[in-house]
Each structure stands twice: as structure tokens, then as C-alpha cells.
């Protein structure tokens, strides 16, 4: 099957700064991809290019379309939530549903109302009367009622409390995701999405630092926890990152066989957050 997103040398400049620096990217259908990077790494710039919200250099094709020239047509098959605070504050819920239904050919009012029925949001509410969490629920209900092939979520749960965040991802996974759809997520709250991701992309200084499926990550990276007396031995095997926790040394290895490490201490699969820190710190020290 063809790629949902395909980029060759994707570049975004702001004056002299390269926010996105010649990125090559292929996102196949049916994946949940986490695009993870520190602040200012170029995540949002890359997403804006993909959504046709910004100009860019290089080749970019989303569902076979050119996003900068065919944004309107593209939006029939792509939907996005760019942070929780972007629904117009003046609008009433029924008006929002009405206008979306009339503009979007793939919107199902019935499904939207069904999702909304599970929340405290009523049709007569104005967006500005809703709490941040309710706005996120409303936006998610709208988006989940649209039958698109690519859903882009840029920090979708920023500023929400933990109950709303959990529920957000649970609904997304249970009620929305299937093999036909692709979801692209950026977030700082890595721990919350790591269990739902199928693919991982780390981005650092406008470049891709890591691009792998979760299975590949599990095979490739190993975390080793050793007592201080064996730390020197562990260091011999060239870990990519080392840290200390409660008197234990924790090492992260890239492509070092588990059998080689097993004798030294406890082995784990690293969490995405730890892997992220290690990847970002690598090359700096």
C-alpha cells in the first residue's frame, strides 16, 4: 500500500534558522506514529507543512496530494486537532456541529451526538462556557465523527488533567483507530502515548534522530540495571546513555545483544521517555 505521508528533503526555514532540516519521512497506513522532540525541535513546523498550513521546501505528498496547494481537498481525508484551545469561543455546540456537517462530506452527526452523549457537553453550550477538558471532549467528538484516513494531533491534551487525558486516548483507541486509519501524534507526555504507538519518530534540531517501529525499538534497545561494582564492566560495552538511580547504575544500549548483557544485572525494555532522553543527550556530552 502507498504511504499516507511521504516527504523528501522537507525543509522549513524561518529567516536563517532551519526549523525542519531536509527530513525524509514515510508513514504507511494503519499506524499510530508518535512524533516526539524537545521544544523548538521542529515538530509543529513539520506538522504544519503536512497539513498545508505553512509553506515549505522539498517534496511532500500527503495522501497523494500537495498540501500547500490542495489544502481544502486534502482536508476531506485529513483532520487535525492542534491543541485544545482552537475551537472558536463564541460558537454554540449545535452551531459547530451544523457548520461542520455542512462543510465536511464525511461528518456523521449521529456519531458525533453519540460521543457527546457520553460527556456533559450540551448542544446549547457556548464553547467559552466549557472547561478546557470539555472543549477537548467536544473537539474529539467532532473529529471522531469524521471518517478520515489521517488524523493529526498536535499536543492534543496540553493543559488537561489526568482523567481527561486518559479518557482522550482510550476513546481514540477503542472507538476510532483501525487498520485503515493513521494517527500522527506529537506530545510531551510521552508516558501516556507510548502504549498506543506503533511507530516512533524522534526529532532533534530539525532532523530525524530516530525512526522505528515499536517492535524494532524493543529489539534494538536494552536497559541494564547494575550494582556499582559492575558499572565499569557495563561501561566497556559502550552504552549510549548512563544514569544513576537509588545507587544503581542504569545503562541504555543500542544494538547490544541481550545475551551479552544478561550476566551483568537486570534487563529491561527501556521506556520511550528514557530512550528519548538518551537519544537527545547523545552526542552532546
Partner 1 sequence: MRRLLALVHREFWENKGAFRTTPLVIGGIYIVFLLMSIFTTAHFDNELYTFREAVRLLAEQPVEFRAAHAEEVMLGTSLFFTLVLAFVVFFYLLGALYDDRKDRSILFWKSLPASDALTIASKLLSAMVLAPLIFWLVFVLTQIVMGIIASVMVLSVGENPWTLFLSIVNPLRAWFTLLVSYLAASIWFLPIYGWLLLVSAFAPRIPLLFAVLPPVVFAILQIWIDFLRTFTLDSSLFGVIGEWVANSPAILTAQVHDGRGTLALGAPLTDDFDHAVTLANIFDRLFSMQMLVGLAVAAVFLTGALWLRRRATDS
Task: Name the site residues for partner 1 (rule: CB under 8 A).
Answer: 48, 51-55, 71-76, 79-83, 85-92, 95, 98-100, 102-105, 139
142 vs 272 by CB, closer to partner 1: 142
125 vs 249 by CB, closer to partner 1: 125
DSSP assignment string, 106-174:
TB-HHHHHHHHHTSS--TT-BGGGS-HHHHHHHHHHHHHTB--SEEEEESTTTT--HHHHHHHHHHIII
**SS3 state of residue 224:** strand
186 vs 222 by CB, closer to partner 1: 186
Sheet of 241-245, strands arranged across = 241-245, 248-254, 221-226, 266-268
CB of residue 255 to partner 1, shortest distance in Å: 39
CB of residue 196 to partner 1, shortest distance in Å: 22
> How would you classify the pairing of strands 266-268 and 221-226?
antiparallel
CB of residue 90 to partner 1, shortest distance in Å: 6
107 vs 202 by CB, closer to partner 1: 107
Among candidate residues 182, 114, 185, the one with its CA nearest the CA of residue 145: 114
Q: How far apart are CA 5 and CA 31, in angstroms?
A: 11
181 vs 281 by CB, closer to partner 1: 181
CB of residue 69 to partner 1, shortest distance in Å: 9
Q: How far apart are CA 44 and CA 255, in angstroms?
A: 30
CB of residue 172 to partner 1, shortest distance in Å: 16
Contact between residue 232 and residue 272 where contact means Cβ atoms under 8 Å apart: no
DSSP label at 255?
S
104 vs 220 by CB, closer to partner 1: 104
In degrees and rounded to multiples of 5, residue 173 shows phi and psi of: -75, -45
- Residue 128's CB is within 10 A of a number of other CB atoms, namely 11
CB of residue 138 to partner 1, shortest distance in Å: 11
CB of residue 103 to partner 1, shortest distance in Å: 5
DSSP label at 175?
I
16 vs 102 by CB, closer to partner 1: 102
Amino acid at each position: 500500500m502507498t504511504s499516507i505521508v511521504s516527504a523528501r528533503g522537507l525543509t522549513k526555514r524561518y529567516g536563517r534558522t532551519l526549523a525542519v532540516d531536509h527530513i525524509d519521512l514515510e508513514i504507511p497506513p494503519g499506524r499510530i506514529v508518535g512524533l516526539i522532540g524537545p521544544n523548538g525541535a521542529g515538530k509543529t513546523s513539520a506538522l504544519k507543512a503536512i497539513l498545508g498550513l505553512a509553506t515549505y521546501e522539498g517534496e511532500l505528498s500527503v495522501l497523494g496530494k500537495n498540501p500547500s496547494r490542495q489544502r481544502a481537498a486534502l482536508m476531506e481525508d485529513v483532520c487535525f486537532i492542534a491543541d485544545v484551545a482552537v475551537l472558536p469561543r463564541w460558537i454554540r455546540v449545535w452551531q459547530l456541529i451544523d457548520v461542520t456537517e455542512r462543510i465536511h462530506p464525511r461528518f456523521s452527526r449521529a456519531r458525533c451526538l453519540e460521543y457527546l452523549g457520553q460527556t456533559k457537553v450540551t448542544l446549547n453550550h457556548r464553547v467559552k462556557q466549557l472547561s478546557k477538558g470539555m472543549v477537548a471532549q467536544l473537539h474529539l467528538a467532532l473529529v471522531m465523527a469524521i471518517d478520515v484516513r489521517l488524523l493529526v494531533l498536535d499536543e492534543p491534551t496540553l493543559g488537561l488533567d489526568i482523567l481527561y487525558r486518559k479518557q482522550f486516548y482510550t476513546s481514540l483507541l477503542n472507538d476510532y483507530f483501525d487498520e485503515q486509519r493513521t494517527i500522527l501524534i506529537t506530545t510531551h507526555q510521552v508516558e501516556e502515548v507510548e502504549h498506543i504507538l506503533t511507530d516512533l519518530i524522534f526529532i532533534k534540531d530539525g532532523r530525524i534522530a530516530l525512526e522505528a517501529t515499536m517492535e524494532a525499538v524493543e529489539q534494538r534497545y536494552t536497559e541494564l540495571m547494575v550494582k556499582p561494582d559492575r558499572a565499569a564492566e557495563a561501561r566497556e560495552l559502550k552504552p549510549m546513555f548512563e544514569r544513576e538511580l537509588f545507587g544503581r547504575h542504569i545503562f541504555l544500549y543500542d544494538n547490544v545483544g541481550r545475551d551479552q548483557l544478561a550476566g551483568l544485572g537486570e534487563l529491561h525494555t527501556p521506556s520511550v521517555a528514557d530512550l528519548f532522553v538518551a537519544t537527545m543527550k547523545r552526542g552532546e556530552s
